[in-house]
């Protein structure tokens, strides 16, 4: 028996998926680029500071240097019109852009999964009302919701827990506003997630293990979150990985429109918005942040596709 056990040591679904993911060259490429990007935005700004003395918001005191210089050895990406080093600004902006991807996706995950799971499991009238609310929210432009959330909870009205989270990263009014933006973005991007989860729960809730749980008197909330949600995790992970690039793009749109990240902070979107103003004279101000952002989104999309194929072997044949 013991011998037998060794031979048929099964691989779990996750190990299997991981193996398939590693075979996908494009997904591995995406993973490497993202890992590089994460490391670069974390250790990049301090390294630049130690080697050259530039910080993202360092404006030279010599007035001759306050203009936009093209890329050079000293400034690999050039400088912006205030003479700030563009490379360290792009790296600093990358921190915020990547954080949007993670935090907003987490928020949308928590809200969307709970909402969809409850609607799907309850069924009947509750489900109907909950999903019609989703339909209505779909029809309201998300820009309006974000602006209202930012206006209603901005400044003095910032909830304490948001200020507490932003304090972990340095705090201050500007950063509070950015964290508020992360949550606002999460709160407008959970709708599709709720639909995906609801569909999954609908197909799971009539299976025997749910009946068994009900028969042994497990509470409704426990059935939903301990028995049903873990079984619906595959599609949730797939959709979450594709949400990351989409919220990053939304943040960039908002910053481009002047609603999102405000100076002195920067994100890739706000850097692009600044760059567009001067595109005819200083094209590097748009091209470097734009290409960095596009490369990151490109890699995230490939990784998301790879994870989908790895977790759902059915689609792999395509």
- Interface with another protein (CB under 8 A), residue total 43
Contact code string over 217-256 relative to another protein, x by CB under 8 A: ----------------------------x---x--xx--x
Give which of 82, 4, 27, 2 is closest to 263, Cα–Cα.
Answer: 82
- What is the number of residues in the chain? 318
Contact code string over 257-276 relative to another protein, x by CB under 8 A: x-----------x--xx-xx
Distance between CA atoms of residues 263 and 175, nearest Å = 11
The answer to whether 251 touches 267, Cβ cutoff 8 Å, is yes
**Residue 121 or 243 having the CB closest to another protein:** 243
Q: Which residue is it, tokens 């490369």? A: 295
The answer to the question of residue 280 lying near another protein (CB under 8 A) is yes
Pick the binder of another protein from 109, 188, 286, 310 (CB under 8 A): 286
Distance between CA atoms of residues 318 and 309, nearest Å = 9
The answer to the question of residue 148 lying near another protein (CB under 8 A) is yes
Segment interacting with another protein (CB under 8 A) among 13-21, 179-187, 212-220, 280-288: 280-288
**Min dist. Cβ of residue 49 to another protein (A):** 28
The answer to the question of residue 162 lying near another protein (CB under 8 A) is no
Distance between CA atoms of residues 116 and 46, nearest Å = 43
Distance between CA atoms of residues 116 and 119, nearest Å = 5
**Residue 31 or 224 having the CB closest to another protein:** 31
**Min dist. Cβ of residue 247 to another protein (A):** 13
Distance between CA atoms of residues 13 and 301, nearest Å = 22
The answer to the question of residue 173 lying near another protein (CB under 8 A) is no
**Residue 233 or 259 having the CB closest to another protein:** 259
| Number of C-beta neighbours around residue 231 at 10 A | 14
The answer to the question of residue 301 lying near another protein (CB under 8 A) is yes
Pick the binder of another protein from 297, 303, 310, 311 (CB under 8 A): 297
Distance between CA atoms of residues 118 and 220, nearest Å = 9
User: Which two three-digit tokens encode residue 212?
Assistant: 């068994």
The answer to the question of residue 135 lying near another protein (CB under 8 A) is yes
The answer to whether 182 touches 104, Cβ cutoff 8 Å, is yes
The answer to the question of residue 293 lying near another protein (CB under 8 A) is yes
**Residue 48 or 100 having the CB closest to another protein:** 100
The answer to whether 120 touches 127, Cβ cutoff 8 Å, is yes
- List, in order, residues 6 or more apart from 124 with CB less than 8 Å away: none
The contact set with another protein (CB under 8 A) reads: 135-141, 143-145, 147-148, 151-152, 157, 245, 249, 252-253, 256-257, 269, 272-273, 275-276, 279-280, 283, 286-287, 290-291, 293-295, 297-298, 301-302, 305, 315, 318
């Amino acid at each position: 028996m013991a011998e037998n056990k060794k031979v048929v040591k099964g691989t779990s679904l996750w190990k299997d998926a991981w193996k398939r993911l590693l075979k996908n060259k494009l997904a591995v490429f995406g993973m490497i680029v993202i890992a590089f990007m994460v490391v670069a935005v974390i250790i990049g700004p301090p390294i630049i500071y130690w080697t050259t003395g530039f910080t993202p918001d360092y404006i030279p005191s010599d007035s001759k240097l306050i203009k936009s210089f093209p890329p050079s050895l000293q400034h690999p990406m050039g400088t912006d019109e205030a003479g700030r080093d563009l490379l360290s600004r792009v790296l600093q902006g990358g921190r915020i852009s990547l954080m949007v991807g993670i935090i907003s996706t987490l928020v949308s995950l928590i809200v969307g999964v709970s909402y969809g799971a409850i609607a799907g499991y309850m069924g009947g009238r509750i489900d109907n009302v909950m999903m019609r609310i989703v339909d209505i929210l779909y029809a309201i432009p998300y820009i309006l919701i974000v602006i209202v959330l930012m206006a209603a909870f901005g400044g003095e009205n910032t909830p304490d827990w948001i200020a507490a989270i932003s304090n972990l990263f340095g705090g201050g009014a500007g950063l509070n506003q950015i964290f508020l933006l992360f949550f606002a973005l999460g709160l407008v991007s959970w709708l599709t997630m709720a639909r995906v989860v609801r569909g999954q729960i609908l197909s799971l809730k009539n299976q025997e293990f749910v009946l068994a749980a009900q028969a042994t008197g497990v509470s409704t909330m426990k059935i939903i979150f301990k028995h049903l949600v873990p079984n619906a995790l595959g599609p949730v992970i797939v959709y979450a990985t594709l949400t990351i690039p989409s919220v990053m793009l939304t943040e960039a749109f908002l910053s481009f429109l002047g609603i999102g990240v405000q100076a002195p902070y920067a994100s890739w979107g706000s850097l692009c918005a600044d760059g567009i103003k001067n595109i005819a004279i200083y094209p590097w101000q748009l091209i470097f942040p734009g290409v960095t952002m596009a490369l990151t989104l490109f890699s995230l999309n490939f990784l998301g596709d790879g994870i989908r194929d790895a977790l759902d072997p059915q689609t792999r044949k395509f």
